[in-house]
A and B are shown apart, each in its own frame.
Chain A
Amino acid sequence: MTTARQMGLISCHFCHTLSKLPNDIDEKSAKKQTEIICPCCYSSLHSRIPNSLSRTWALLLAALILYIPANTLPIMTVTYWGEGQPDTILSGVMHLLAEGMWPLALLIFLASIFIPILKLLTLFGLLISIHFRANWRPKDRTVMYRITEFVGRWSMVDVFVIALLVALVQFGKTASVSPNLGALSFAAVVILTMFAAHTFDPRLIWDAMEDDSSGEISAK
């Protein structure tokens, strides 16, 4: 089990072309030098995403802060005959349940409540596991990461539903739907967690294993 970094190689993030670290300098000193450019796609090469952990932390904390207004502020107001009824994400799901539309309630619950929480918790868990250099089930953690990255964008469905309702239900005083700040906060949470997942480098999960084994060897 050898990694590209151990062999003094850098794999391009985009085109997977392997390049040599110039003159066998380790990455820390290479960072201070001019950046290395991929010969195939001209992107700047990094053995790991630069500042991956601190950037993921920052994006995740920002998402967590916005998660509060996203859930407490109304996402939209439905007005019937001049009577406005503001809805939050949770009250929207409750209304659907009360109207017996439980498949829809389940869908919105999964996309707007379950997936964002799952995503925030998974990324927090991954960050903490890396800070503690855990070597617990790296493969499962990588799978968790892939799931988070894959399902995250589907949370946008509620934002699109609001947009469609706003565009369609415009009948003056009879019936109208208007968007509220909660919708923007929620969209921001989804976008920030997508960026957080994107800037997280799953190779950091496996680096702990590498450090472990090399530590053992040097100890012997």
Chain B
Amino acid sequence: MSDKDRIRSLLKEAELYKKQSLLTQSKGKYLNVLQIIESSRQLGNREKLLDAVREKMRAVEEKLTEIDEAPEVPELSESQHNLIRKRFSFSKDKDKAAIEGAVALAKFGQYEQALEQFKKLLRQGILPVVVAKNIITCLLSFSTADAAVAQFSQWVSRESLSRPQLKQIRAFLNSTFGKKGIKAELPKLDEAPAEAGKEDEEGDAVLDLSSISIQLESGPLKGETVEFDVTFQSGNSVSVIIPARRKDLLDSFKTGMELSDIQCFSPIGFFRANGVLFGKTEIKDGPKQGDYLLEIAINAD
């Protein structure tokens, strides 16, 4: 094949890949063309050709950056929100499903709509502490710490939540602020002796988690966020599995390391926490033989 023919066919390929948004592949073909032109003895007009191809390649590169910089969270319509709520909640229990639906909205970055749903659930008195914590998390994700404080103050003044419930939420706010290094005054809750000993039904333990995602601060995958499904949970410690083939992940976790940013997802809520990796062991038999089990103590507040 003559250089001309090779170039023609490569350019055709590059155009196709561009059209199909296979931009890296398109750029690759343009680079091939540039190389051929540069080393060709048969071609006249080389400078002009080079310029033309470079121009085409630049257009592809621009598209690539455009994609890199595009917002990852689109604005969705109301019916799309409803679809997400309906299709990404799996519980048979109606209340739990409603919370799952709102959590799904938050997972898809639709914080404002998630907030709306959580507020509705709170008014209906459904798992108030869980829902309230979700409200705080949403506010901190798309609004400000002030907004979270204002929300809490409103709950305190309206007495819509019981004192033990408010206490739990206050502790949650405090620890979240502590982790983020936010300084804020929270309204004090004066002790009401009559209620002091009352246990809250929902308890203070970490929710049943379905998955966690961890931002890695060191190691080969520094800066990346990895998500794990929780395979086992006992109280505040969870176990997750790293497949044997993911050596890069294995090398990123060392026993004793502190994990300062863990996003925890449960079917009925999501929140941020920190934790410590206290175990990393190879699984010796069974279907997951060779994989590794990480054990993490989650510190939610």
Are A and B subunits of one complex?
A: no
* Chain A interface residues toward B at CB < 8 A: none
* Chain B interface residues toward A at CB < 8 A: none
